[in-house]
Amino acid sequence: MKLQLIDGAFSPTETLELLTQLYQVKIKFHEEKVKNSANEEDIKMRERKIKLLQKNLDEARAFIKMENKHFHIESYITI
């Protein structure tokens, strides 16, 4: 099953806001799992994912600020 999440044109500010909020939801998801986990392997794996998500968001912010144009974003979730 393929679900369309985003399809549209966004200003640089809107693009940053949208991506930041999406990444923050995913980061918060992993942070909550870390809080509720006693499994050290699971905690380490989730901490790595959080760092990667933060790195990806930082790279996206830098790219968006450098380009400073409208962006077309398409995003799908495949289940």
DSSP string, 34-65: HHT---HHHHHHHHHHHHHHHHHHHHHHHHHH
Q: Kindly tell me the number of DSSP H helices and DSSP E strands found in the chain.
A: 2, 2
- At 63, the pLDDT band (50, 70, 90 cuts) reads very high
Give pLDDT tens digits for 5-32: 999 999 999 999 999 999 999 999 999 9
pLDDT at 9: 98
DSSP 27: H
Domain boundaries, the chain: 2-78
Name the average pLDDT for the chain. 96
pLDDT at 76: 97
Beta-carbon count within 10 A of 19 CB: 20
pLDDT at 28: 98
